[in-house]
Every structure is written in structure tokens, then in C-alpha cells.
Amino acid sequence: MTIMKIEPRGESLRMATGKNCLLQGDKRIARYLDISPRRVKYLRRTYGLPVFQIGRTVCALTERLDAWKEERASA
């Protein structure tokens, strides 16, 4: 698993690393999904966005976010 501190938007992160990455914080998760941090909070509460916490920090794995997006798109 790779921890990225500063990452480009969306799919370019996956292409840059080619691996599953850990995103830390609503802002980085939002940047990866190309949505607002407020929308990330809404999706967490309402639609089960696959996130977890390390201490007080909300985190997500890019692989799980991609799978969640595909699942939601096909539903």
C-alpha cells in the first residue's frame, strides 16, 4: 500500500502509481473522486462510501473507491 501526501486528480493518481493508494482526509478523497469534501461526507452517511478511520482521520483505499463507483454506476 502506498501513502500519497499530494496527488493529482482522479485517474491520473492510479496511472502515476499503478497501485492501490491510501487517501487520508475528506479533501484528498474528494479530489480523487472529483467532488467536494462536503459531498464526500454526504456520501459516507447516505450511500456507504467505503471509508474507515485511523484515529480521527477519515481514510479510503483507491481500489475500494473505484469498486464502489462501478457498483453504484451499474445499480
User: For position 16, what pLDDT does the model report?
Assistant: 47
Nearest in space to 61 (alpha carbons), one of 29, 26, 34: 29
User: For position 47, what pLDDT does the model report?
Assistant: 94
Q: Is the pLDDT of residue 68 over 90?
A: yes
Q: What is the pTM of this model?
A: 0.74
CA distances from 48 to 6, 8, 65 (A): 25, 24, 11
Where in the chain are the domains? Answer: 2-74
User: For position 17, what pLDDT does the model report?
Assistant: 53
How far is the C-alpha of 68 from the C-alpha of 66, rounded, in Å?
5
List pLDDT tens digits, range 17-60.
Answer: 557 899 999 999 999 999 999 999 999 999 999 999 999 999 99
Q: Over the chain, what is the mean pLDDT? A: 83
